[in-house]
A and B are shown apart, each in its own frame.
Chain A
Amino acid sequence: MPLYKIENLTYYYPDTTTAALEDINLEIEAGEFILVVGGSGSGKSSLARALAGLIPDFYGGRIGGKTYFQGDEIRTQDRRKLARQVGMVFQDPEKQIVQTQVEAEIAFGLENLGLTNEEMLRRVAEVTCFMGLTPIRGGFTANLSGGQKQKLALAAVLAMQPHVLVLDEPTSQLDPAAAEEILNLVKRLNEEMGFTVIMIEQRLERCYHLADRVLLMAGGKIICDGSARAVAGHTIAGGQPFLPPVTRLFAGLQATSIPLTVKEGRKLLRTRLNTKDGGEERHIVKTASNPGATPIRAACCSSSPHFAGTNRGNVVRLKNLWFTYPDGTEVLEGVNLAVDEGEFVAVLGENGAGKSTMLRQLAGLLQPDRGTVEIFGRDVGKKGYREIRRQVAYLSQNPNDYLFQDTVEEELLFTLENFHMSDTTIVDKMLARFNLARYRRTNPRDLSSGERQRVALASVLVTSPGLIILDEPTRGIDYRLKAELGRFLQQQAAAGRTVILVTHDVEFAAEYAARVVMMFSGRVVSDGSKHDVLGKSVFYAPQLGKMCRGLYDGILTLQEAQQHIYPLFAGPTDRDEILEVSL
């Protein structure tokens, strides 16, 4: 008997006319690791909620078809019984924690199950140890970091001792280190403890290979269901971007066995390189020494921090910037940075490296303790944001912060009015540019997350600013929206605007930025073209860079990889052995 059996499941949220789930048929065996991929609005989250019994119980709406869990229909099952067996972890750690204290939070589900105090004590102790939460067990939950909060949310679910775990993008709001920890835990739970795992995830490079099965969803339907390799071929054939970069590269070659990890990719690549060049190391971009290197804008690619003292064309100039928060933590320690017009800069670094603080200095929200911040030649450090805000667009982590008017159009007009700009023709242009024309009269709160972000971006870009500053713009958005955003920002940079963004997303930075600045504990430790900075790094490198490292140095983006690696596989001699079409 399969663990789950779904027959012709169709579901509409209340007051909607498009199906969130359409004619889903699915069987899930106990112990499987299932990865669900797809764009936003594809029905992944709805499927997860259906499996956890939240659809339709919690949401209402209209439903057709049947969902069986262990042979019984899920809707007829006792909620307590179901909650003991199926646990669900959600996307936003901020919005799952109920109690003020860590231990109380872990016990919350147990209290709901009506367990005895002895049983609760035992389970809380067990889970706290397993998850490594002992040091913070008495802590105030509101003060935890995002990663700790998500770990706590997982712990609170695990304390209920389910054997099925449903995870809805559990790492999308986390930094890479915390995300890694969560994914490793999930992997352990599946492999060592036999949990059935159904996970929705966007960071595919970290978990695609772990899945026994991958479900590709679009428009409320499962369009492909099979092993990771099989789905990879299908995904690429359907023109969908939901693959880890390495897999995406090789799936394009339609090889028989598509590599899913860097290790497999390197193995395959090595066979090709050995046969062709006898193991000689290759590189496409070698800085300074290589005359054929891609030209890089601005003469600021030396890896040491630098002053661009004489350059008058700097849009942004930070000189010896120091900052300490009132509680005494020193976050910026002598930061120097100069950015020119039309540059696209990504600032990378771990949590607490001072990235966001630097960004807030740039926007004029914080005053430096020492040093100067100049934007467009004006000293912002002393005078603050009022001086520059018309020329600077700032997008915070949460696009919802921007949405409060009744219609999308008013949202844009609001900014214009604030700056006393009477020319409203730009609104039409912006709406058309962001594909929002048809939502002109829609309440922005009724839009999807990707659309909300576009509205937020449009509402700050409506003043035609020269500098665009973004704080973690890729957090929680899918591959397709990321690509859209990346391309848009590239166009803006090409049009002479300066783009500076802070991100944890190395893949995004490698793909779209031109220059990368790495920060570590309050300092700029590396600054230069992305090939210089990311090409040299082992850990802060995109997946393709990791795969090609030492074999074909300098490759960072998919395009570069396609350009340089595809020819290797196009040799006539082994065409037959490699290019056997899968599927």
Chain B
Amino acid sequence: MTGTNWGLYITIAGVFFVALLMLLMEKRAGLGARQVALIAILAAFCAAGRTVTGVALLFLQPTMFLVGITGFVFGARAGFFVGAMTPLISNLFIGMGPWTPWQMICWGLVGMSGAAVRFLFPRAGYKTMIIICFGWGFLYGAVMDLWHWCVFTRPLTFNGYFLIWAAGVSFDSLRAAGNLLFCAALGRQSIKILNYFHKKMDVRYLENL
């Protein structure tokens, strides 16, 4: 018996981490009917995008950049929830697995990074998001490879990780390219559309006639 079973630990840690994040996020007030409905619909939208993107676009997915933009427009919490729920919902239909919690964390972080961009550079536009999303294409792959590495290779060596990463790098670059392409093509409109609804999210102060 090997003393350290990292595969088990990292999977369980993922579950706890994602559960904790979700709990913390929802305990903060301000999730009214509009917010709940909007987050759920965006998550369903992203999940559908992640699931059905067909052969026509070489499996490039028009999804991850939208999660980032959601965070950018609606803030860290909405970004996190939409991100975390995207793999959760789509995996219900395309295959749940022990990788789900880590995917949820990664996607959630994508959403939160959008909010961070907004916070750090208030005047950033979709062009900044293109860079962020491109970066996430690779980062996401790298983090998920970490999970694969922990679960499936032993002993854990850097070389092992490197090989797994190298095996996945073509997929990663495809993902990054997809993010780049879609964010460039759709980023501006998406921000516009989401901003349009963002305005509708908060009930304006009532005026009495």
Contacts and interface: CB of A to CB of B under 8 A. Distances in A.
A63 B208 contact: yes
B206 A62 contact: yes
B197 to A, nearest CB: 11
11 contacts: A10-B209, A57-B203, A60-B203, A60-B204, A60-B206, A62-B206, A62-B207, A62-B208, A62-B209, A63-B206, A65-B209
A65 B206 CA distance: 13
Contacts of A60: 203-206
A539 interface: no
Contacts of B206: 56, 60-63
A64 B203 contact: no
Taking chain B's interface residues, is the majority helix, strand, or loop, or is none over half, making it mixed? loop
A61 B209 contact: no
A63 B203 contact: no
A14 interface: yes
B188 to A, nearest CB: 12
Nearest to A14: B204
Interface residues of A, number: 13
B128 to A, nearest CB: 23
A59 interface: yes
A12 B207 CA distance: 10
A61 B202 CA distance: 11
A62 B203 CA distance: 11
Contact of B209 (A14, A58, A64): A64
Q: For the side of the interface on B, what is the size category?
A: under 10
B37 to A, nearest CB: 8
Interface of A: 10, 12, 14, 56-65
Contacts of B33: 58
Interface of B: 33, 203-209
A10 B205 CA distance: 16
B161 to A, nearest CB: 39
Contacts of A59: 203
Nearest to A62: B207
B208 A64 contact: yes
Contacts of B205: 60
**Closest 6 A/B residue pairs (Cβ):** A64-B209, A60-B203, A60-B204, A62-B207, A14-B204, A56-B206
B174 to A, nearest CB: 27
A500 to B, nearest CB: 30
Given A10-B209, A59-B203, A61-B207, 9 more contacts: A14-B204, A56-B206, A58-B33, A60-B205, A60-B206, A61-B204, A61-B206, A64-B209, A65-B209
A64 B207 CA distance: 8
A10 B207 CA distance: 12
B113 to A, nearest CB: 28
Residue of A14, A58, A65 with most partner-chain B CB within 10 A: A14
A56 B208 CA distance: 11
- Looking at B33, B207, B208, the one whose CB has the most chain A CB atoms below 10 A away is B207
Contacts of B209: 10, 12, 62-65
Contacts of A61: 204, 206-207
Contacts of A57: 203
A464 to B, nearest CB: 30
Instruction: Give the interface centre of B33, B208, B209 by most chain A CB atoms within 10 Å.
Output: B209
A159 B206 CA distance: 32
Nearest to B205: A60
Nearest to A12: B209
Contacts of A58: 33, 203
A12 B208 CA distance: 10
Contacts of A56: 206
Nearest to A8: B209
A14 B203 CA distance: 9
A62 B209 CA distance: 7
Contacts of B204: 14, 60-61
Interface centre among A58, A60, A63 (most CB of B within 10 A): A60
A577 to B, nearest CB: 51
B12 to A, nearest CB: 27
A59 B205 CA distance: 10
Nearest to B40: A98
Contacts of A63: 206-209
A462 B33 CA distance: 41
Contacts of A64: 208-209
B93 to A, nearest CB: 11
A58 B205 CA distance: 11
A176 to B, nearest CB: 31
A1 B208 CA distance: 26
